Structure 1
Amino acid sequence: DKIYLENGGFEDAFYKRIREKVKFVCIECVEGFDTCFCTTMGSNKTDDYSLAVRFDENSALFNINDNEFDKYFTDCAKEEFELKFIEKNMAEVNLPEIESKEVLNKLKEHSVWKEYDKRCIQCGSCTVACPTCSCYTTRDIIYNENANVGERKRVQASCHIDGFDEMAGGHRFRTNASDKMRYKILHKIHDYKEQFGDNHMCVGCGRCTDRCPEHISITATINKVDKAVKEIVGGKN
């Protein structure tokens, strides 16, 4: 919402039109998975939902927050249901504290990113799976039946896919995997919050880890970045 409705004072009418129709259903989770770290990112609890659901072995309990859904449960038995949230993830993640522009600039040049030139194949699986990646490109489709009629579509794109940052003159800002990984990770755990001042962009879902064909773990990557920041602050780099 922040990117499409509030960024730079611009409100995306196409996004807003769909967003106003969306209803969220919150599925109770108290255990999590081995790749998620939502408690670290502060995204493990919410009261912003229309329905909350708990799945038991042979039944489901619903907590209704939106009166529009009352009609679907008029004949159902009532039972006490207090939604529970996960308190501790299996994965332990240390978010780096980047205290100044100087530290940030040194971090961008740190050797921690170099390993991804060998490991990352720049397929974009991580960013396509990410629920907070919002970049897209446009594609014009011309109909064969009438060359004067067509449509312009938004197509999901991302910083990890080759050609994303290529300008009309052929210039590219990030030409290797390490540059792209640095751009993505810092945007998720520093740049977004630095700009908007609320939450980090990464919600700690771990989907990118699950989807990566090269088994690159975002939890391990963030921990490596945290270690690099501590080296920089401690004067070791």
Structure 2
Amino acid sequence: MIRSLLTCVASVALLACSSTALLAEEKPVPLFNGKDLTGWEGRADLWSVEDGQIVGRTTKENPLKKNSFLIYTAQEPSDFELTLQYKIENTNSGIQYRSKVIDKKEFVVGGYQADIDFTNRFAGILYEERGRGILAQRGQSVTLKEDGKKSVKKFGDGTEIGNGIHPGQWNDYRIVAKGNHLQHFINGKMTAEVFDEQADKAATSGVIAFQLHVGAPMVVRFKNIVLHSAK
């Protein structure tokens, strides 16, 4: 009788533990429905949906006076993995994360940025828009100390890593943000890494957004945008 009772208790505990584990597993969340910009906000003259893609476009006739962003407004994630595909046809763009909206009317955003660059000079770096500037170049693992000083380690050659990035074609981007540890990956290879220990500057949560950059006319495309729980 006692043995049966203990077996029952153990079974219940195991079931409860399994249920808790299942609840803890969050399903990936698509951030784009492939049809319209539900959940996103930006200038209607700059952003549209074409062929299941989010498309940002500037023109020579209507140049930007400042960088403009398409902002995901449904949530402001903290720890996560973000995966998507992008294609850029000119100049520069980027993916903002853990960022803050500086001007809601003009769709201006500042914060961490996973850079996208048609010239392939900056693609994959970690840049802080309207903040500390370049935090990590391609091939660098950077620790930002509490006083703002950098400790830089090199994990790869920036040019060689860049050879695996293809301007004008579709590329896979993965951004991992867990605690103060930030990582960028393009086409399966890590491009930059930061440990942000500067408490008065580091961001723990914020918006996701896509950038259109001042300068020459440009087109950038995004698709298959999915938010995953941090592993």
Greater RCO (Cα-Cα under 8 Å, separation 6 or more): 2
Structure number with the higher strand fraction is 2
The TM tier, using the shorter chain, reads under 0.3
Q: Which of the pair is proportionally richer in helix?
A: 1
Normalising to structure 2: TM-score of the pair?
0.25
